[in-house]
Chain A
Amino acid sequence: RKEVEQDPGPFNVPEGATVAFNCTYSNSASQSFFWYRQDCRKEPKLLMSVYSSGNEDGRFTAQLNRASQYISLLIRDSKLSDSATYLCVVNTGNTGKLIFGQGTTLQVKP
């Protein structure tokens, strides 16, 4: 079983749609959680950290459920520019070593 699992998609949605991505992680000792965004042939960039209380950044909302070892990302009012691969990322210790999911591809269509 992979340490971090995501549905690879692709998710094809129209502009303005709301879309949700889910991710599960296997290590219950995981300490911190992130969503990164990766555009085609580019490096990953931090989208947002994920906190137990849930957090929101504009159109993006992230949630963490430690009991179920589950992380989610909600994107409201999708824009064409949101088209990318979204990587679920987990840090299991104090070293900063990140474990990446395979990524979920989003394609927003006009």
Chain B
Amino acid sequence: GAGVSQSPSNKVTEKGKDVELRCDPISGHTALYWYRQRLGQGLEFLIYFQGNSAPDKSGLPSDRFSAERTGESVSTLTIQRTQQEDSAVYLCASSGWAGDTQYFGPGTRLTVL
């Protein structure tokens, strides 16, 4: 079946602009995760959604970052007033349930000029 999809694949924006990144998880997966990967670095956890429970936002680096998920479907990650240090690949993953194998999308490469 279809895997995790993300859009856009690439986004170039100017410092100070807002951006919205989208993730479509695998159908039926209740858990959804956002990670960030800076060039040459490992993945950093940002936020986690599980069903209708309150999300775990402990990895969000600042209040400029927010994310939403409607039910068990699409999620959007919003970065307001982007800064150059926000440049990274933003990866979304989903799993059947918390603790199950996570399947990653191809990521959105964000460049802030």
The answer to whether A43 and B107 touch across the interface, beta carbons within 8 angstroms, is yes
Bound: A45/B3 CA distance, A: 12
Interface membership of B62, Cβ < 8 A: no
Interface membership of B26, Cβ < 8 A: no
Of B44, B59, B95, B107, which one neighbours A96 at CB under 8 angstroms? B95
Q: Of A13-21, A58-66, A72-80, A99-107, which binds chain B?
A: A99-107
The answer to whether B102 and A46 touch across the interface, beta carbons within 8 angstroms, is yes
Q: How many residues of A contact B (CB 8 A)?
A: 20
Interface membership of A32, Cβ < 8 A: yes
The answer to whether B43 and A96 touch across the interface, beta carbons within 8 angstroms, is no
The answer to whether A97 and B42 touch across the interface, beta carbons within 8 angstroms, is no
| Residues on A with beta carbons closer than 8 Å to the beta carbon of B105 | 43
| Residues on A with beta carbons closer than 8 Å to the beta carbon of B99 | 32, 91, 94-96
Interface membership of B56, Cβ < 8 A: yes
Interface membership of A42, Cβ < 8 A: yes
| Residues on A with beta carbons closer than 8 Å to the beta carbon of B95 | 96
Of A42, A91, A96, A101, which one neighbours B106 at CB under 8 angstroms? A42
Interface membership of A44, Cβ < 8 A: yes
| Residues on A with beta carbons closer than 8 Å to the beta carbon of B106 | 42-43
For the complex of A and B, the 7 pairs showing the least CB-CB separation, nearest first, are A43-B104, A96-B98, A100-B43, A100-B42, A102-B42, A96-B99, A95-B98
**Additional pairs, 16, CB under 8 Å, beyond known A44-B91, A98-B35:** A4-B42, A42-B106, A91-B99, A95-B48, A95-B99, A96-B99, A96-B102, A97-B33, A97-B48, A98-B43, A99-B45, A100-B35, A100-B42, A100-B43, A102-B41, A103-B42
Residues of A whose CB lies within 8 Å of any CB of B are 4, 32, 42-46, 49, 87, 91, 94-103
